[in-house]
Chains A and B, each alone.
Chain A
Amino acid sequence: QVNLVESGGGVVQPGRSLRLSCAASGFSFSYSVMHWVRQVPGKGLEWVAVIAHDGNGIYYTDYVKGRFTISRDSSQNTLYLQMNSLRPEDTAIYYCARETPGTYYFDYWGQGTLVTVSS
């Protein structure tokens, strides 16, 4: 079955960097579009970034553009989110989510990893 497991969250100071990983299994990762979605605890969901199945189409929400980088390693079935210049408002649970290409919705989600940006 489809399984997405995020890791790499933790407490980090403002201005520092963190890299999240999402290990995928149970489906054809190299043919799937992958997203990051975040959620401030107790608040709503916010879409963060998307990467096409071949890594060529990459888009971000304006709030992280220039600071975050989404990437993927299909040989390792792993999705990444490199987060630089972190701000307190980036504090959230970060979910990776799968999209079957062309469907434009998130059909499977990981359990999330919490990132806390605080001094």
Chain B
Amino acid sequence: QSALTQPASVSGSPGQSIILSCTGTSSDVGGYNLVSWYQQNPGKAPKVLIYGDTKRPSGVSNRYSGSKSGNTASLTISGLQADDEADYYCCSYARGTTWVFGGGTKLTVL
């Protein structure tokens, strides 16, 4: 049950697009179409942005999009805004009926 690998930090300027990566194995990310992404602001509970690798829940901005290639999933945030500054976590369903999170990426909007 090793954690998925995410870069510790990413930064971008307002209006830019940035891509957050999440690397796992064939036992989790690559084995199922079940990666989800969460945004967490300081002192708050996480909020889902993407599920099923690419699906967006109703009410979530279309500036957030998910993709996957092999064992690596990605979250793209387009038109970066100041309030996108937060921590982002990927999560995957994994073999053996478990879930595994990434270590999180802190996004800074310059």
Contact = CB atoms under 8 A, between A and B. Distances in A.
A47 B3 CA distance: 10
A61 B45 CA distance: 20
A109 B98 contact: no
A103 B52 contact: yes
Q: Is the interface of A mostly helix, strand, loop or mixed?
A: loop
B46 interface: yes
B98 A59 contact: yes
A46 B101 contact: yes
* Max chain B C-beta neighbours (<10 A), residue from A45, A50, A61, A62: A45
Interface of A: 35, 37, 44-47, 50, 57, 59, 61-63, 95, 103-107, 109-112
Given A45-B38, A46-B101, A109-B47, 13 more contacts: A37-B101, A44-B3, A44-B104, A45-B104, A47-B98, A59-B96, A61-B1, A61-B98, A95-B45, A104-B93, A106-B46, A107-B51, A109-B46
